[in-house]
Structure 1
Amino acid sequence: MDMDAKLLLGTRLRKFRKENGYSQNHIANILGVERSTYTYYETGKTVPVIFDLMRLADLYSVSLDDLLGFHADSSDPLAFGDPRQPVKTTVRRKERYLSEAVQDLSAEERQLLAYYRSAKPAERRQIFEYLRLSRRKEHRRSEE
């Protein structure tokens, strides 16, 4: 992603965050990143991974296209330009693997992952414990 696109994305992230009354720290906690990392997103120094962009779009109740500015009205000064042009992306190996691993998830499964990622460590442990116990009960029932 070129520098202009990063800066425009950062501006959009800041705009949506402020419109919704959130602090940078709050958004960083939701994403599970340091506040300084989130600040880099808003200043265009780095770009969030696709899963974090999806979570932000869900949080702000906008489409991913709207979050990124691809469907912005031509009068929108934050628009990225012609949405019909192909988007150049650089995908790191880890992100490519994760993308391939989850591309067949349903919307409900993606939402579950988003909730998990926004949970505190203690809540994550509770989620796993609940699932483990549920699976164990189901397994016992099937053996009877």
Structure 2
Amino acid sequence: MSLSTIGKNLRIFREKCGYTQQHLANVLNIDRSTYSYYESGKTTPDISSLILLSQVFCISLPELLGQEDLSLMLNDSSSWGKVSAKRITDNNSHIYDLKKDELQLIAFFRACSSTQKEELLRKASEILSKNNKKELD
């Protein structure tokens, strides 16, 4: 596994999921140029950032690191191979039709722990309930 392999994989998965470099830089709380260096192979993310990115892309860490065979995914640009294509369609990672702020929200949400996700969903529900109550008054 080399820096260039990690960088190439970051670009491939980012593009397949429809994220910009800025979306992922926001999730990692870094400059876009720093994320760009990750993809170009000039630098590599630390392990916690790699774990976070694997969560955002909905893939395993070994797959992100290139330790699983990516050749199946790259043979045909219209498919990711049997396992990965199923994973992408099952979790709706292909989200090109969303607005920029919606994409960013999904990236942040995917980076959260299970407890944080529950808290965010609970808070979103509270906000909607309050707004609906105000509209009825």
TM-score, normalised to structure 1's length? 0.49
Match of 1:95 among 88, 103, 107: 88
Per-residue displacement from partner, 1:35-68 (whole Å, max 9, x unpaired)?
Answer: xx32343235245xxxxxxxxxxxxxxxxxxxxx
Per-residue displacement from partner, 1:96-140 (whole Å, max 9, x unpaired)?
Answer: 35256x332111101100001111222212211211111101111
Preserved contact between residue 51 and residue 61 of structure 2 (Cα < 8 Å)? yes
SS in 2 for 1:32: helix
Max Rg structure: 1
Percent identical pairs in the alignment equals: 11
SS in 1 for 2:106: helix
Higher relative contact order by CA 8 Å / sep ≥ 6: 1 or 2? 2
The gaps in structure 1 that reach 5 residues or longer are 1-7, 48-85
> Which residue of 2 is the match for residue 142 of structure 1?
135
- Between the aligned partners of 1:40 and 1:93, the Cα distance in structure 2 is 15
More helix by share: 2
- Between the aligned partners of 2:61 and 2:93, the Cα distance in structure 1 is 21
Judged with a 3 Å threshold, the aligned counterparts in structure 2 of structure 1 residues 123 and 30 are, in CA distance, closer, same or farther, namely farther
Please provide the CA RMSD for this pair. Answer: 3.5
What is the deviation of 1:11? 5.7
The gaps in structure 2 that reach 5 residues or longer are 11-36, 71-75
Residue identity opposite 1:130 in structure 2:
K
Matched, 1:114 2:98: no
